[in-house]
Structure 1
């Protein structure tokens, strides 16, 4: 999958997983820089879930990804581009700021 941009919402096959890693086919937000996404075989994503309750900074609401969508900041991961199935949309700037703030807090940046 080419031309992935930071903030894109993409469908990703996260299986197989181990232990407490979030699993199955689900939407994720691309967080790595667009310029890196052009050159690398992997992208950094934050998975989305409708089954979790917002608990900032670990889980933040992202309404622009769909009704009840929450970004699972605590499940950030790099995925090979071959796991990406489709581009579903893009987060609003306001939602990206919420995800970025969550990442800064969780990662101590």
Structure 2
């Protein structure tokens, strides 16, 4: 899968990883801008987890059904990373502008951006 857009939720193979990096094949949110997504072989993504018990200001909960998600999921913005597009398996859906804005607010908190 080479064509992705900002706000897409995509299944990605994140292994191999080290230490506490989120692992396994799981949904991720594409955060890189569409110019990068069109021309680069990398995409900047935020992993999602189905563990929504503990939520901090650096997390954004995405409801079940949003962007093709089967369960409520948490965007773990402190795990933002660039991945080779060959790790991206298939597109599940796309976040709405409001859902994407919720993720962006959590990311701003993580990176101390104003």
Q: TM-score range by the shorter chain?
A: over 0.9
Separation in 2 of the partners of 1:107 and 1:73? 9
In the alignment of these two chains, the number of paired residues is 109
Separation in 2 of the partners of 1:69 and 1:52? 6
Please state how far the C-alpha of 1:105 moved relative to its aligned partner: 1.1
1:19 aligns with 2:23: no
Unaligned 5+ residue runs, structure 1?
A: none
1:96 aligns with 2:94: no
For residue 52 of structure 2, give the secondary structure of its aligned residue in structure 1.
coil
1:82 aligns with 2:86: yes
TM-score (norm 1): 0.93
Unaligned 5+ residue runs, structure 2?
A: none
For residue 20 of structure 2, give the secondary structure of its aligned residue in structure 1.
coil
Residue-by-residue CA offset, 1:52-74 (whole Å, 9 max, x unaligned): 33523222111124331111111
Structure 1 pair 54–91 and aligned structure 2 pair: CA distance change class (3 A)? farther
Q: Summarize the alignment of residues 1-109 of structure 1 with structure 2, pairs less than 5 Å apart.
A: 1-63=1-63, 64-65=66-67, 66=69, 67-109=71-113
